């Protein structure tokens, strides 16, 4: 091997090592860094799981202390969620889907699912529900629900808490 060939070979090995290092660092950062959209998606998956377990307390851990939605406070939402699960138990969600529209520290999430009580002894409440959630980052930089609005329950457009069917 000539001296020039040896120098070029060393440069090629160094360049390959640098490129491999950059790729590894990029992959590591991507694995460690969780984006806001990924955090919101995790929150939505946790909410789905809480509904399917019939766990009002698990739902409420994601609700902001400053929650307010068309006359509904955090406390009244907590009472409503507990009463709903007391009556119907866990709810199976089929076709659960959501769409995230985020801008900075605010997000609007549209949610749709077919809800069926898992307890066959429950009253026959079934229907495709559509909801709108507003999320905001709190002081700890965690996403919390600041507003939750029912838009459709079964075949009825409800567009607010005051138009919900009686549970």
Q: pLDDT tens, 94-107?
A: 888 899 999 999 99
pLDDT at 159: 67
* pLDDT at residue 139 is higher than 60: yes
Taking the whole predicted model, whether its pTM rises above 0.85 is answered as no
Which residue range forms the structural domain that includes residue 17? 1-33
Q: In angstroms, how far is CA 118 from the centroid of its own chain?
A: 22
Percent pLDDT > 70 in the chain is: 72
CB-based contacts of 31: which residues, under 8 Å, 6+ apart? none
Same domain? For 12 and 92 the reply is: no
Cα–Cα separations (whole angstroms), residue 46 to 24, 43, 73, 134, 149: 31, 5, 21, 16, 18
Same domain? For 8 and 90 the reply is: no
Task: Tell me how many domains the chain contains.
Answer: 2
**Nearest by Cα to 156 from 126, 119, 124:** 126
Same domain? For 5 and 64 the reply is: no
Q: Residues, the chain, total?
A: 167
Domain assignment present for 167: no
* pLDDT at residue 27 is higher than 60: no
* pLDDT at residue 124 is higher than 60: no
């Amino acid at each position: 091997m000539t001296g020039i060939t040896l120098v070029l070979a060393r440069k090629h090995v160094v360049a390959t090592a640098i490129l491999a290092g950059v790729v590894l660092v990029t992959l590591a950062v991507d694995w460690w860094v969780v984006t806001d959209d990924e955090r919101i998606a995790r929150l939505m998956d946790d909410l789905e799981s809480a509904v399917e377990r019939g766990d009002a307390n698990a739902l409420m851990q994601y609700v902001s202390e400053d929650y307010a939605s068309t006359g509904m406070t955090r406390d009244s939402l907590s009472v409503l969620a507990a009463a709903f699960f007391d009556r119907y138990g866990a709810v199976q969600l089929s076709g659960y889907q959501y769409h995230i529209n985020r801008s900075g520290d605010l997000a609007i999430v549209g949610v749709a699912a077919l809800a069926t009580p898992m307890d066959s002894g429950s009253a026959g409440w079934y229907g495709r529900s559509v909801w709108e959630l507003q999320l905001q980052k709190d002081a700890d930089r965690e996403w919390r629900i600041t507003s939750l609005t029912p838009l459709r329950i079964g075949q009825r457009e409800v567009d607010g808490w005051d138009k919900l069917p009686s549970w």
